[in-house]
Each structure stands twice: as structure tokens, then as C-alpha cells.
């Protein structure tokens, strides 16, 4: 799936489009969507399908029906305590990511 995704939208093309965009930051997302939107949707569909197959397989292999006694959802706070890395770049919109990726002195700008 990753090979197909990279073939469909080469990461270098995304980076180049992002870097070469000359408009306002708020317009960048619209520009990127016009360039990659349909292929992005197809790639997300493939990823969601693969993830569903993997989870279903893991449930069956792990005998989830007999071993899991609660399927109560975690709260957002509980989930973030388990998996959030405070040093990771936060999830932000396209119009805000540029500033986070090019902080002075970090070698990226």
C-alpha cells in the first residue's frame, strides 16, 4: 500500500508544491487540494480499508470475542496519556504548519 501511495503522490511533489507556493498561507491548503485532492481521497480509502482488515485480523487472531470483557471507549484524555508525545509537532492546518517546520535555529529553515 505504501508503494502505491508513494507512486500515486510522490512525497517530493507534495514538498515541492508546498515550498514553491507563493500565495498567502491560508490559500496553500486550497492549492494543495487542487493538486492532490482526488488522489489523496483514494489513498485515504486504501489506508482505511487496510487498517480495518488489520484490526479485524488481530481481533480474530487474538480471540477478542472471548478475551475482551469491555469495549468501553477511552476518553480523549486517557488516549492522549497513552500515546501523545509532547515533543512531536502538533497536528495543525496547512496554513500554520510552515511556521512550525521552519523555526529559526533548528536547521529546517
79 lies in some domain: yes
Please check whether residue 100 is in contact with residue 18, taking contact to mean a CB–CB distance below 8 angstroms: no
Could you tell me the residue range of the domain that residue 48 belongs to? 2-101
Question: Which pLDDT belongs to residue 109?
Answer: 45
Task: State the CB neighbour count (10 A cutoff) for residue 64.
Answer: 13
Distance between CA atoms of residues 69 and 46, nearest Å: 31
pLDDT digits (tens, 9 = 90+) for 65-74: 998 888 888 8
Q: Name the DSSP letter for residue 107.
A: S
Residue 108 lies in a domain: no
In a domain, 16, yes or no: yes
Q: What angle do CA 4, 10, 15 make, to 5 degrees?
A: 150
Residue 109 lies in a domain: no
Asked if residue 57 is part of any domain, the answer here is: yes
**What are the tens digits of pLDDT across the range 14-64?**
999 999 999 998 899 999 999 999 999 999 999 999 999 999 999 999 999
Please check whether residue 24 lies inside any domain of the structure.
Answer: yes
What is the residue-wise DSSP string for 60-75?
A: HHTTHHHH----PPPP
Q: How many domains is the chain partitioned into structurally? A: 1
Q: Rounded to an integer, what distance in angstroms lies between the CA atom of residue 57 and that of residue 75?
A: 25
pTM for the structure as a whole? 0.63
**Residue 104 predicted with pLDDT over 70:** no
User: Is 96 among the domain residues?
Assistant: yes
53 within a domain of the structure (yes/no): yes
Amino acid at each position: 500500500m505504501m508503494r502505491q501511495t508513494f507512486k500515486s503522490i510522490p512525497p517530493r511533489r507534495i514538498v515541492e508544491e508546498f515550498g514553491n507556493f507563493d500565495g498567502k498561507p491560508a490559500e496553500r491548503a486550497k492549492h494543495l487540494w487542487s493538486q492532490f485532492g482526488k488522489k489523496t481521497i483514494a489513498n485515504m480509502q486504501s489506508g482505511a480499508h487496510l487498517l480495518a482488515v488489520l484490526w479485524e485480523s488481530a481481533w480474530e487472531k487474538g480471540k477478542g470475542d472471548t478475551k475482551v470483557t469491555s469495549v468501553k471507549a477511552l476518553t480523549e484524555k486517557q488516549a492522549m496519556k497513552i500515546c501523545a508525545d509532547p515533543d512531536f509537532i502538533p497536528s495543525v492546518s496547512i496554513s500554520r504548519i510552515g511556521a512550525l517546520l521552519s523555526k529559526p535555529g533548528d536547521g529546517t529553515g
